[in-house]
């Protein structure tokens, strides 16, 4: 199933663009990804992966990738509630402690974790559709 992916992870943008619609937010933040997802949910796209998936907190990693429905259908209140809660949680965590400046090897680890999370999410989406 073809989906829309919103990401600020160059590895995800490169590897998933061929088979999906890609919204690559180069040089943007985790929160920017969430804000764009919220805007698209208001335009009747549905959230397909959870914005707080994984065990790494939003104030620990700079990277996030989300899958949304490719086609806008009818408004999904559950998607909006999930993304709004994720935004509130992320803003609170970032106010408490900003994302650190990580060395390149750690940045690459965070990219790989995000890549694996969205890859697993898309695999699950495809399994059930």
Condensed to tens digits (0 to 9), the pLDDT of residues 65-89 reads 999 999 999 999 999 999 999 999 9
Write the DSSP string, 27-87: T--HHHHHHHHHHHHHTT--B-S-TT-SSS-TTT-S--EEEE-SS--S--HHHHHHHHHHH
* DSSP classification of residue 8: S
Alpha-carbon Rg for the chain in angstroms: 14
Section 92-105 average pLDDT: 92
Half-sphere exposure of 30 (CA within 13 A, CB side): 25
**Per-residue pLDDT, 128:** 83
Section 47-63 average pLDDT: 94
Sign of the C-alpha dihedral, residues 95, 53, 113, 43? negative
**Per-residue pLDDT, 99:** 85
Please give the structure tokens belonging to residue 84: 């709004």
Q: What percent of the chain has pLDDT over 90?
A: 88
- pLDDT > 80? residue 1: no
Cα–Cα–Cα angle for 38, 82, 9, rounded to 5 degrees:
60
pLDDT band at 90 (very low <50, low <70, confident <90, very high): very high
Q: How many other C-beta atoms lie within 10 A of the C-beta of residue 40?
A: 21
Mean pLDDT of the chain: 96
């Amino acid at each position: 199933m073809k989906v829309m992916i919103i990401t600020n992870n160059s590895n995800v943008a490169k590897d998933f663009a061929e088979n999906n619609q890609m919204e690559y937010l180069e040089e943007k933040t985790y929160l920017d990804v969430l804000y764009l997802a919220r805007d698209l949910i208001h335009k009747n796209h549905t959230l397909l992966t959870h914005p707080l998936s994984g065990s790494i907190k939003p104030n620990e990693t700079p990277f996030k990738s989300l899958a949304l429905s490719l086609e806008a259908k009818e408004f999904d209140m559950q998607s909006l509630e999930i993304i709004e809660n994720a935004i509130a949680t992320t803003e609170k965590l970032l106010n408490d402690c900003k994302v650190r400046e990580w060395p390149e090897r750690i940045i690459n680890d965070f990219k790989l974790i995000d890549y694996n999370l969205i890859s697993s999410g898309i695999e699950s989406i495809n399994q059930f559709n």
